[in-house]
Amino acid sequence: MDIQKNFGLRIKELRAVKGLSQEALSHKAELDRTYITSVENGKRNVSIQAIQKIVKGLDVSFSEFFTSNLFDA
């Protein structure tokens, strides 16, 4: 799997743990819901600014976000 798909899977995973819908995350992250959908589906190359907003919206640290077997090389 590629990094974009893994990144999207990690968002889905943490969003589920937090009990957030895509819409709720989009509001918290100040991003459009359709953007969140495309990121989760691995169809977007995400900027560092968007990553920061998503991580903040999920209420996790960067280290917590990137601590996942999905990111192992």
Q: Give the burial string for 49-61 (b: 16+ CB within 10 Å, else e).
A: ebbebbbebbebe
Sign of the CA dihedral 33, 35, 46, 13?
positive
CA atoms of 17 and 44, how far apart (whole Å): 23
pTM of whole model > 0.85? yes
Q: What is the structure's pLDDT at 71?
A: 82
Contact between 50 and 25 under an 8 Å Cβ cutoff? The reply is no
Q: If the chain, 73 residues long, is cut into consecutive pieces of 10 residues, what is the mean pLDDT of each piece? A: 91 97 98 98 96 98 91 72
Q: What is the structure's pLDDT at 73?
A: 58
Question: Among residues 48, 50, 22, 49, which one has the least CA distance to residue 36?
Answer: 22
Domain ranges of the chain: 3-71
For 3-71, the fitting CATH number among 3.20.20.10, 3.40.50.11720, 3.40.1000.10, 1.10.260.40 is 1.10.260.40
